[in-house]
Amino acid sequence: MHVERARELGLCFGVRRAVNMLRDSARTYGSLQTLGPLAHNHVLLQELEALGVTTANSPSELTGPAVVVSAHGVGPDTMSLLTERGFTIVDTTCPNVGRAQHIAAEMARDGFTIVIFGDSAHTEVRGLLGWAGDRGIATLDASALESSRTPPVPAGVGIISQTTQRVEEFTAFAQRVCATVLAVSQEVRIVNTLCDATLRRQSAAADLARTVDAMVVIGGHASANTQRLAETCATIVETYLVETADEIEEALLRGKKRIGLTAGASTPDSSIREVESRLRAL
């Protein structure tokens, strides 16, 4: 079986940066707690645990003295809460997420309704909603705007995206929102807040998917960017999402000569190596 890696895959600069910050801080403080998982990948979380980094699922579980804000970021209320409780904050918010937060806050200051293309339950989107104040709406379905309790306002509507969504879907969403709100609002501001690392991984995966018999996408099942990678590949070729080498089902790949490999932005190098060597051994 021939196995080929996508030209760009695995840990993005935002997660690498966060992991490096945690390594340094763990040396300084001995142990650290992250507020929510640093990233949605169990293998990565286990590697961090070995460094003394554990996950608190809510602010009430935090004991300090040092607390980590994950690469997904948090809203201003959570930041204030952590400061009030006297924690030393290790802020690993990815600069791409930080830019989206800044844009949401700026639009809120300008009195805009802010429509976020994203999963409202995802940590990053919850943080963005916090920066949008009481004028934010997060949805993956543009028609939800029509029935929303936060309708578009005459001052204007801003449209941004969760960083890890797919560009084709954000484009279609923005077009649909424009069609709905232009009758009401004087200004519509669309800002592309998609992450370039995610876009490059999606494009590299799609190029590879066109040349192979099946794609294997490595990453956490709850990882948004990994799911989008799998969706991108699945529109082209048979695709399997696995988090570890143990999840590879040999029967599904039987008869396939060329397998393409890609990995989500929070997938550690060790997982990629393991899956790759398991596939080569088939």
Distances (CA, A) of 272 to 22, 121, 204, 242, 243: 22, 28, 16, 10, 9
Based on the shown chain and the rule CB under 6 A, indicate whether residue 103 belongs to the binding site for ligand F3S.
no
Among this protein's residues, is 243 annotated catalytic? no
Based on the shown chain and the rule CB under 6 A, indicate whether residue 165 belongs to the binding site for ligand F3S.
no
Span interacting with ligand F3S, options 94-102, 115-123, 173-181, 228-236, rule CB under 6 A: 94-102
Q: Are 164 and 198 in contact (CB under 8 A)?
A: yes
Based on the shown chain and the rule CB under 6 A, indicate whether residue 13 belongs to the binding site for ligand F3S.
yes
Q: Which of 124, 169, 238, 276 is catalytic?
A: 124
Quote the least distance from Cβ 12 to ligand F3S, whole Å: 3
Span interacting with ligand F3S, options 12-20, 54-62, 133-141, 251-259, rule CB under 6 A: 12-20
Among 71, 190, 205, 241, binds ligand F3S (CB under 6 A): 71
Based on the shown chain and the rule CB under 6 A, indicate whether residue 25 belongs to the binding site for ligand F3S.
no
Based on the shown chain and the rule CB under 6 A, indicate whether residue 14 belongs to the binding site for ligand F3S.
yes
Nearest to ligand F3S of 12, 103 (CB atom): 12
Instruction: Determine the longest span between alpha carbons in the chain, in angstroms.
Output: 61
Span interacting with ligand F3S, options 93-101, 107-115, 215-223, 247-255, rule CB under 6 A: 93-101
Based on the shown chain and the rule CB under 6 A, indicate whether residue 15 belongs to the binding site for ligand F3S.
yes
Distances (CA, A) of 19 to 11, 13, 40, 50, 229: 10, 10, 13, 12, 22
Number of residues that bind ligand F3S (CB under 6 A): 15
Span interacting with ligand F3S, options 7-15, 24-32, 211-219, 244-252, rule CB under 6 A: 7-15
> Tokens 């990629």 belong to which residue?
272
Nearest to ligand F3S of 225, 262 (CB atom): 225
In angstroms, the CA 38 to CA 51 distance is 13
Interface with ligand F3S in residues 201-240 (CB under 6 A) = 225
Based on the shown chain and the rule CB under 6 A, indicate whether residue 198 belongs to the binding site for ligand F3S.
yes
Q: Is 141 exposed, middle or buried (0-12, 13-18, 19+ CB in 10 A)?
A: exposed
Binding site for ligand F3S (CB under 6 A): 12-15, 71, 94, 96-97, 163-164, 195, 197-198, 225, 265
Q: Which residues are catalytic?
A: 124
